[in-house]
Amino acid sequence: MIDRLRVRPGHRPKIAERDPRDTLELGDKAAAKERLAKLHERLEFLHARLFAEGKRSVLLVIQGVDASGKDGVIRSVLEGVNPQGCRVVSFKAPAGAELAHDYLWRIHAALPARGEIGIFNRSHYEDVVTVRMLEIAPKEVWSKRPHHINELERMLTDEGTTLVKVYLNVSRDEQGKRFRERIDDPEKRWKFRKADLDVHERYDEYVAAYEDALAETSTEWAPWHVVPADRNWVKATAVATLLVDALDKLDPQLPAGEAGIEQIKVD
Protein backbone atom coordinates (compact mmCIF):
# COMPACT_ATOMS: atom_id res chain seq x y z
CA MET A 1 0.00 0.00 0.00
CA ILE A 2 2.70 2.47 0.99
CA ASP A 3 4.56 2.27 -2.32
CA ARG A 4 1.26 2.78 -4.11
CA LEU A 5 0.58 5.99 -2.17
CA ARG A 6 4.10 7.37 -2.27
CA VAL A 7 5.09 10.15 -4.68
CA ARG A 8 8.49 9.16 -5.99
CA PRO A 9 11.03 11.97 -5.69
CA GLY A 10 11.60 13.61 -9.03
CA HIS A 11 8.19 12.53 -10.33
CA ARG A 12 4.82 14.21 -10.48
CA PRO A 13 2.07 12.81 -8.25
CA LYS A 14 -0.54 12.87 -11.06
CA ILE A 15 -3.28 13.60 -8.54
CA ALA A 16 -5.96 13.93 -11.21
CA GLU A 17 -5.24 10.36 -12.37
CA ARG A 18 -5.59 8.85 -8.88
CA ASP A 19 -9.00 7.55 -7.87
CA PRO A 20 -10.29 9.32 -4.72
CA ARG A 21 -12.61 6.33 -4.13
CA ASP A 22 -9.85 3.73 -4.36
CA THR A 23 -10.25 1.11 -1.59
CA LEU A 24 -6.55 0.17 -1.72
CA GLU A 25 -7.52 -3.53 -1.65
CA LEU A 26 -8.60 -3.21 1.97
CA GLY A 27 -11.76 -5.19 1.34
CA ASP A 28 -14.89 -3.72 2.86
CA LYS A 29 -15.49 -1.25 5.67
CA ALA A 30 -15.68 -3.99 8.31
CA ALA A 31 -12.34 -5.48 7.29
CA ALA A 32 -10.72 -2.04 7.29
CA LYS A 33 -12.15 -1.32 10.73
CA GLU A 34 -10.60 -4.52 12.07
CA ARG A 35 -7.27 -3.62 10.52
CA LEU A 36 -7.45 -0.10 11.94
CA ALA A 37 -8.01 -1.49 15.43
CA LYS A 38 -4.78 -3.49 15.16
CA LEU A 39 -2.97 -0.41 13.89
CA HIS A 40 -4.23 1.53 16.92
CA GLU A 41 -2.71 -1.09 19.22
CA ARG A 42 0.62 -0.98 17.41
CA LEU A 43 0.62 2.82 17.32
CA GLU A 44 -0.06 3.05 21.06
CA PHE A 45 2.80 0.62 21.77
CA LEU A 46 5.32 2.36 19.51
CA HIS A 47 4.31 5.84 20.67
CA ALA A 48 4.86 4.85 24.31
CA ARG A 49 8.36 3.69 23.41
CA LEU A 50 9.10 6.82 21.39
CA PHE A 51 8.04 8.95 24.36
CA ALA A 52 10.11 6.92 26.82
CA GLU A 53 13.17 6.94 24.56
CA GLY A 54 12.94 10.74 24.24
CA LYS A 55 15.50 11.04 21.46
CA ARG A 56 13.53 11.35 18.22
CA SER A 57 10.18 12.64 17.02
CA VAL A 58 7.63 12.12 14.24
CA LEU A 59 5.75 14.84 12.38
CA LEU A 60 2.56 13.95 10.49
CA VAL A 61 1.74 16.68 7.96
CA ILE A 62 -1.82 16.59 6.61
CA GLN A 63 -2.81 18.70 3.61
CA GLY A 64 -5.74 18.73 1.23
CA VAL A 65 -8.40 20.99 -0.21
CA ASP A 66 -11.24 22.12 2.06
CA ALA A 67 -13.52 19.27 3.22
CA SER A 68 -10.93 16.60 2.44
CA GLY A 69 -11.34 15.34 6.01
CA LYS A 70 -8.25 16.53 7.85
CA ASP A 71 -9.97 16.86 11.24
CA GLY A 72 -11.67 13.50 10.92
CA VAL A 73 -8.56 11.58 10.01
CA ILE A 74 -6.72 13.02 13.00
CA ARG A 75 -9.48 11.84 15.33
CA SER A 76 -9.63 8.41 13.73
CA VAL A 77 -5.90 7.71 13.55
CA LEU A 78 -4.89 8.98 16.98
CA GLU A 79 -7.60 7.18 18.93
CA GLY A 80 -6.08 5.83 22.15
CA VAL A 81 -2.74 7.63 21.79
CA ASN A 82 -1.46 9.19 25.01
CA PRO A 83 -2.07 12.95 24.60
CA GLN A 84 0.90 13.64 26.88
CA GLY A 85 3.27 12.80 24.04
CA CYS A 86 1.17 14.06 21.15
CA ARG A 87 0.70 17.60 19.87
CA VAL A 88 -1.82 18.72 17.24
CA VAL A 89 -1.40 22.15 15.66
CA SER A 90 -3.96 23.65 13.30
CA PHE A 91 -2.60 26.49 11.20
CA LYS A 92 -4.87 29.38 10.28
CA ALA A 93 -4.03 32.59 8.42
CA PRO A 94 -0.98 34.16 10.11
CA ALA A 95 -1.70 36.93 12.59
CA GLY A 96 -0.01 39.04 15.25
CA ALA A 97 3.60 38.11 15.91
CA GLU A 98 3.51 35.59 13.06
CA LEU A 99 3.26 38.42 10.54
CA ALA A 100 6.38 40.04 12.00
CA HIS A 101 8.52 37.01 11.11
CA ASP A 102 9.31 34.89 8.09
CA TYR A 103 6.66 32.39 7.03
CA LEU A 104 8.50 29.41 8.54
CA TRP A 105 8.93 30.98 11.99
CA ARG A 106 5.60 29.73 13.33
CA ILE A 107 6.24 26.30 11.84
CA HIS A 108 9.54 25.85 13.63
CA ALA A 109 7.98 26.97 16.90
CA ALA A 110 5.26 24.31 16.61
CA LEU A 111 7.47 21.30 15.87
CA PRO A 112 7.22 18.24 18.13
CA ALA A 113 9.78 17.86 20.90
CA ARG A 114 11.91 14.73 21.12
CA GLY A 115 9.71 11.82 22.12
CA GLU A 116 6.55 13.35 20.65
CA ILE A 117 4.32 12.77 17.65
CA GLY A 118 3.36 16.11 16.13
CA ILE A 119 0.42 16.55 13.79
CA PHE A 120 0.05 19.54 11.50
CA ASN A 121 -3.52 20.17 10.33
CA ARG A 122 -2.48 22.30 7.37
CA SER A 123 1.12 23.42 7.47
CA HIS A 124 3.94 25.36 5.81
CA TYR A 125 2.51 24.18 2.48
CA GLU A 126 -0.31 26.70 2.84
CA ASP A 127 2.37 29.32 2.22
CA VAL A 128 2.93 27.80 -1.19
CA VAL A 129 -0.51 26.67 -2.35
CA THR A 130 -2.94 29.07 -0.65
CA VAL A 131 -0.64 32.06 -1.08
CA ARG A 132 -0.47 31.22 -4.77
CA MET A 133 -4.21 30.67 -5.22
CA LEU A 134 -5.28 33.81 -3.34
CA GLU A 135 -2.48 35.88 -4.87
CA ILE A 136 -1.29 36.95 -1.44
CA ALA A 137 2.27 37.09 -2.74
CA PRO A 138 3.68 37.25 -6.29
CA LYS A 139 5.06 34.19 -8.06
CA GLU A 140 8.63 35.38 -7.57
CA VAL A 141 8.02 34.98 -3.81
CA TRP A 142 6.04 31.74 -3.49
CA SER A 143 7.95 29.94 -6.25
CA LYS A 144 11.10 29.99 -4.06
CA ARG A 145 9.38 28.42 -1.08
CA PRO A 146 9.48 24.74 -2.13
CA HIS A 147 13.27 24.98 -2.04
CA HIS A 148 13.18 26.59 1.42
CA ILE A 149 10.84 23.87 2.66
CA ASN A 150 12.98 21.05 1.27
CA GLU A 151 15.99 22.39 3.14
CA LEU A 152 13.99 22.85 6.36
CA GLU A 153 12.73 19.27 6.14
CA ARG A 154 16.21 17.98 5.40
CA MET A 155 17.48 19.70 8.54
CA LEU A 156 14.61 18.27 10.61
CA THR A 157 15.36 14.79 9.34
CA ASP A 158 19.06 15.17 10.10
CA GLU A 159 18.15 16.31 13.62
CA GLY A 160 15.95 13.29 14.34
CA THR A 161 12.43 14.17 13.15
CA THR A 162 10.76 11.74 10.76
CA LEU A 163 8.22 13.39 8.48
CA VAL A 164 5.10 11.63 7.22
CA LYS A 165 3.47 13.88 4.62
CA VAL A 166 -0.08 13.13 3.49
CA TYR A 167 -2.21 14.76 0.81
CA LEU A 168 -5.88 13.80 1.19
CA ASN A 169 -7.24 13.35 -2.31
CA VAL A 170 -10.97 14.10 -2.22
CA SER A 171 -13.05 14.38 -5.39
CA ARG A 172 -14.92 17.54 -6.35
CA ASP A 173 -18.25 15.71 -6.07
CA GLU A 174 -17.47 14.47 -2.56
CA GLN A 175 -16.24 17.91 -1.54
CA GLY A 176 -19.56 19.39 -2.69
CA LYS A 177 -21.48 16.73 -0.77
CA ARG A 178 -19.57 17.52 2.42
CA PHE A 179 -20.14 21.25 2.00
CA ARG A 180 -23.88 20.61 1.66
CA GLU A 181 -23.81 18.47 4.81
CA ARG A 182 -22.15 21.32 6.70
CA ILE A 183 -24.81 23.76 5.57
CA ASP A 184 -27.69 21.39 6.41
CA ASP A 185 -26.41 20.20 9.79
CA PRO A 186 -26.58 22.83 12.59
CA GLU A 187 -23.79 20.99 14.41
CA LYS A 188 -21.47 21.40 11.42
CA ARG A 189 -22.63 24.76 10.07
CA TRP A 190 -19.95 26.66 11.98
CA LYS A 191 -17.29 25.01 9.82
CA PHE A 192 -18.66 26.48 6.59
CA ARG A 193 -17.60 29.81 5.13
CA LYS A 194 -18.93 31.45 1.98
CA ALA A 195 -15.35 31.55 0.74
CA ASP A 196 -15.48 27.73 0.62
CA LEU A 197 -17.65 28.04 -2.46
CA ASP A 198 -14.79 29.75 -4.28
CA VAL A 199 -12.53 26.83 -3.39
CA HIS A 200 -15.17 24.46 -4.75
CA GLU A 201 -15.53 26.44 -7.98
CA ARG A 202 -11.76 26.48 -8.43
CA TYR A 203 -11.28 22.87 -7.38
CA ASP A 204 -9.23 21.93 -10.46
CA GLU A 205 -6.97 24.95 -10.00
CA TYR A 206 -6.30 24.03 -6.37
CA VAL A 207 -5.48 20.45 -7.33
CA ALA A 208 -3.12 21.76 -10.02
CA ALA A 209 -1.38 23.95 -7.44
CA TYR A 210 -0.98 20.97 -5.11
CA GLU A 211 0.28 18.93 -8.05
CA ASP A 212 3.13 21.39 -8.51
CA ALA A 213 3.88 21.69 -4.80
CA LEU A 214 4.00 17.94 -4.20
CA ALA A 215 6.15 17.36 -7.26
CA GLU A 216 8.70 19.90 -6.02
CA THR A 217 8.77 18.77 -2.39
CA SER A 218 8.52 14.98 -2.45
CA THR A 219 12.08 14.09 -1.48
CA GLU A 220 13.99 11.01 -0.40
CA TRP A 221 14.07 12.35 3.16
CA ALA A 222 10.43 13.51 3.24
CA PRO A 223 8.27 11.98 0.50
CA TRP A 224 4.61 12.77 -0.05
CA HIS A 225 1.80 10.20 0.01
CA VAL A 226 -1.48 10.74 -1.86
CA VAL A 227 -4.29 9.09 0.10
CA PRO A 228 -7.75 8.53 -1.43
CA ALA A 229 -10.13 10.49 0.79
CA ASP A 230 -13.68 9.96 -0.49
CA ARG A 231 -14.14 6.97 1.83
CA ASN A 232 -13.36 7.81 5.45
CA TRP A 233 -12.52 4.24 6.41
CA VAL A 234 -9.95 3.96 3.62
CA LYS A 235 -8.43 7.32 4.49
CA ALA A 236 -8.05 6.54 8.20
CA THR A 237 -6.58 3.09 7.62
CA ALA A 238 -4.10 4.37 5.04
CA VAL A 239 -2.85 7.24 7.22
CA ALA A 240 -2.56 4.96 10.26
CA THR A 241 -0.56 2.50 8.15
CA LEU A 242 1.86 5.25 7.10
CA LEU A 243 2.32 6.46 10.67
CA VAL A 244 2.86 2.98 12.12
CA ASP A 245 5.29 2.13 9.33
CA ALA A 246 7.36 5.24 10.12
CA LEU A 247 7.49 4.32 13.82
CA ASP A 248 8.31 0.69 13.06
CA LYS A 249 11.31 1.83 11.02
CA LEU A 250 12.48 4.02 13.90
CA ASP A 251 12.17 1.03 16.26
CA PRO A 252 12.26 3.16 19.43
CA GLN A 253 13.81 1.48 22.45
CA LEU A 254 13.00 1.77 26.13
CA PRO A 255 15.78 3.35 28.19
CA ALA A 256 17.59 1.07 30.63
CA GLY A 257 16.47 1.14 34.26
CA GLU A 258 18.74 2.24 37.07
CA ALA A 259 21.61 -0.09 37.89
CA GLY A 260 20.60 -2.75 40.40
CA ILE A 261 16.90 -1.99 40.15
CA GLU A 262 16.07 -5.67 39.78
CA GLN A 263 17.32 -6.28 43.35
CA ILE A 264 15.09 -3.62 44.90
CA LYS A 265 12.29 -4.96 47.07
CA VAL A 266 9.15 -2.99 47.84
CA ASP A 267 7.29 -4.02 51.02
Q: What is the structure's pLDDT at 144? A: 98
Q: How far apart are CA 25 and CA 225, in angstroms?
A: 17
| Cross-strand partners of 246 | none
What does pTM read for this prediction? 0.95
Q: What is the mean pLDDT of each run of 10 residues along the chain (267 residues)?
A: 96 98 96 97 98 98 96 94 94 93 96 98 97 96 98 98 98 96 90 87 97 98 98 98 98 87 78
Burial class for 251, CB neighbours closer than 10 Å (0-12, 13-18, 19+): exposed
Q: How far separated are the first and last CA of the chain, in Å rounded? A: 52
Element holding 63 (H helix, E strand): strand 57-63
CB 128 within 8 A of CB 61: no
Count CB atoms within 10 A of the CB of residue 224. Answer: 26
Structural domains of the chain sorted by starting position, each given as residue range(s) with its CATH number in brackets = 2-171+215-251 (3.40.50.300)
Helix and strand numbers, DSSP H then E, in the chain? 11, 5
Element holding 62 (H helix, E strand): strand 57-63
| DSSP SS3 for 266 | coil
CB 69 within 8 A of CB 232: yes
Q: How far apart are CA 223 and CA 164, in angstroms?
A: 7
Residue 12, CA distances (Å) to 24, 125, 130, 164, 213 in order:
20, 17, 19, 18, 9
Q: What single string gives the DSSP state of each residue in 86-122?
A: EEEEE--S--GGGGGS-TTHHHHHTPPPTT-EEEEES
Q: How far apart are CA 56 and CA 114, in angstroms?
A: 5
Residue 110, CA distances (Å) to 3, 7, 86 in order:
29, 26, 12
CB 246 within 8 A of CB 57: no
Q: How far apart are CA 19 and CA 178, in angstroms?
A: 18
Q: What is the structure's pLDDT at 252? A: 98
